[in-house]
């Protein structure tokens, strides 16, 4: 099965409720970045791709979501946290501020690579609609990595890889 068809298959599993959308999303990002880096196509790409005449709209979206993305992700993690409230506040406040700085830069670079590699003829409206979704995911996983550490992030990716291998075995 080709790479694209396996991604489509995983997308169908998400649509049917058999796979977590966040796991699917992060697997697609990791696959695209890994494939792009291995084929060295990233050297011939623009570092940042924004559709012509939409720079202001993209900058506004990025500014708003660089603040609200970490806050929303932090509130979600607060609800999922096993720590006491006071411990959570001190630990997550600093990492949310760092996440506010990292989210826009990581998001636009990852998004530019994905767009140029897989969807080079994307419509500007679709670009703008997908950007906030990507930024929320990047914000969540950046906050997760900052708060739970690299070990938890690697463990999550390892679990994701195991889930993908189980899906491939089901085929």
Q: What tens digit of pLDDT does each residue of 5-23 get?
A: 666 666 677 666 666 666 6
Measured at the CA of 155, the angle between CA 39 and CA 76, to 5 degrees, comes to 105
Task: Give the burial string for 17-48 (b: 16+ CB within 10 Å, else e).
Answer: eebeeebbbbbbbebbbeebeeeeebeeeeee
The CA–CA distances, whole Å, from 52 to 25, 152, 167 equal: 26, 39, 39
- Are 132 and 17 spatial neighbours (Cβ–Cβ below 8 Å)? no
Domain ranges of the chain: 3-170
Mean pLDDT of all residues in the chain? 75
Residue, of 141 and 82, whose pLDDT is higher: 141
If you write DSSP's letter for every residue of 120-161 in order, what string do you get?
A: TT--HHHHHHHHHHHHHHHHHHHHHHHHHHHHHHHHHHHHHH
Question: Which of 27-41, 102-116, 135-149 is least confident?
Answer: 27-41
State mean pLDDT over 74-84: 69
If you write DSSP's letter for every residue of 49-116 in order, what string do you get?
A: ---TT-HHHHHHHHHHHHHHHHHHHHHHHHHH--S-HHHHHHHHHHHHHHHHHHHHHHHHHHHHHHHH
Question: Which of 71-85, 107-121, 138-152, 157-171 is least confident?
Answer: 157-171
Q: Any idea which residue has 């708060």 for tokens?
A: 147
Q: What tens digit of pLDDT does each residue of 95-130 get?
A: 888 888 888 888 888 888 888 877 888 888 989 999
d(CA 145, CA 153): 5
What is the band of 132 on the pLDDT scale with cuts at 50, 70, 90? very high
Residues 6+ apart with CB under 8 A from 1: 9, 171
């Amino acid at each position: 099965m080709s790479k694209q068809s396996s991604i489509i298959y995983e997308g169908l599993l998400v649509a049917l409720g058999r796979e977590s959308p966040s796991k699917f999303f992060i697997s697609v990002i990791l696959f695209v970045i890994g494939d792009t880096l291995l084929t060295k196509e990233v050297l011939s790409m623009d570092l940042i791709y924004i559709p012509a005449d939409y720079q202001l709209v993209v900058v506004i979206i990025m500014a708003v979501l660089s603040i609200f993305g970490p806050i929303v992700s932090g509130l979600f993690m607060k609800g999922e946290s096993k720590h006491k409230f006071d411990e959570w506040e001190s630990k997550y406040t600093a990492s949310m501020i760092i996440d506010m700085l990292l989210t826009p830069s990581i998001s636009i670079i990852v998004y530019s690579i994905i767009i140029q590699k897989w969807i080079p003829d994307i419509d500007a409206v679709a670009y703008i609609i997908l950007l906030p979704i990507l930024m929320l995911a990047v914000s969540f996983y950046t906050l997760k990595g900052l708060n739970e550490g690299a070990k938890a992030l690697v463990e999550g990716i390892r679990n994701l890889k195991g889930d993908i291998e189980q899906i491939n075995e089901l085929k």
